[in-house]
Amino acid sequence: MNTNVGQHNGNVAELPQYRALLVVDVMDFSGRRGREHAELTEVIPRLLKQALNRCGLSDLWERVRFEVTTGDGYTLGFDATVLPFLLNPFLAALQDELEFQNAVRPGHPPLRMRVSVNVGPLTDSGRNAISDGSGTPRVETHRLLDAEPVKALLSRSSSVTCIAAIVSERAFEDAVLSGYTGEDPSLYVPAPVTVKSYEGNGYLRVPRPSGELLIHGFHPTPPTEEQPMDETKRTEPPMASHTNTAGDVSGSAVQARDYHDGRQVGVGSVAGHMITGNSGPVNTGDHAHVGHQFSGSGVTYVAGDHHGQLGRADQSDGQTQ
């Protein structure tokens, strides 16, 4: 369409036609031997065409507006009207095609792809020119393709999962939420995307999930924060070591202690110096203990006349005294 609007205001330009954009990227392309790169680069568009044939959309290949290789991937531009078909049934058909190719090529690294789908105003000369497909949506599509959430879908799954797709928010709203794909929107999982200067949201789609994707979902489970311990369940710290002494005494000296914090009573009457601890009473000085003595579960009793110093040393480990 020709207009004279631009002649009146040099800051105004026509909006390019809306185009649906499909970009794919082969996982671990750089990890393959250099001699395999050229062959794989040529194989990628054939795989896309075969996937379209597989789901009955062979005519779409004839309706491609522009296409370009990225070496390890491929870009296709279509009329915006075909956007729903690029999500359903194409994504599932591409999964099936790659799965088939991997089965008939044993001994080769499995073919797995990331896929990004978008829609928006893009240049289109109708001649498949090198500049066709230019515009902000093109940049956004490649940023989505390089986003960590979609990369993680392949790294956290087995080779059974051949494709992991991410769909722009605009494409999701126009094709999925509006009902044109005929799918339940819950099949697409929202994910925040930050790549370089781009920040936005994408929607993750995996036709055949496996591995951790089935166990933890599309987003990794964050580490569980340690819950604070209930104060009533905390183990009380051990009591500090201490020594009790009684000075010179004559007659009966009795040392007693109640049960407290796992400690037992000690009662005794001794001559000389006496120290009680984990191993029982130890008498020092000129005289041994006088009188009766018995010991039970951590209890020592000495009766009789005595004189001298009486001392008791407790350990701090909470064991029987």
pLDDT of residue 281: 52
**CA dihedral defined by 192, 120, 67, 140, rounded to 10 degrees?**
-30
Question: Which single residue is written with the structure tokens 């929202």?
Answer: 190
In tens digits, the chain (321 residues) has pLDDT values of: 555 555 566 799 999 999 999 999 999 998 899 999 999 999 999 999 999 999 999 999 999 999 999 999 999 999 999 999 999 999 999 999 999 999 998 888 999 999 999 999 999 999 999 999 999 999 999 999 999 999 999 999 999 999 999 999 999 999 999 999 999 999 999 999 999 989 999 999 999 999 999 999 998 766 555 555 555 555 555 555 444 544 444 444 444 444 444 444 444 444 454 445 544 554 444 444 444 444 444 444 444 444 444 444 444 444 444
pLDDT of residue 124: 98
pLDDT of residue 253: 45
> Is 62 exposed, middle or buried (CB count within 10 Å of its CB: 0-12, 13-18, 19+)?
exposed
Give the bridge partners for 74, in sequence order. 24, 69
The model carries a pTM of 0.68
- Decide which of 3.40.50.300, 3.30.70.1140, 3.30.70.1230, 2.40.50.320 is the CATH code for 16-216: 3.30.70.1230
pLDDT of residue 200: 94
Kindly report the three-state secondary structure assignment for every residue of 57-124. CHHHHCCCCEEEECCCEEEEEEEHHHHHHHHCCHHHHHHHHHHHHHHHCCCCCCCCEEEEEEEEECCC
**CA dihedral defined by 127, 144, 217, 94, rounded to 10 degrees?**
20
Distances from the Cα of 66 to the Cα of 137, 190, 201, angstroms = 15, 29, 26
pLDDT of residue 279: 47
pLDDT of residue 220: 76
What are the extents of the domains in the chain?
16-216, 238-314
Give the bridge partners for 263, in sequence order. 260
| Cβ 177 vs Cβ 185: under 8 Å | yes
φ and ψ of 177, to 5 deg: -60, -30
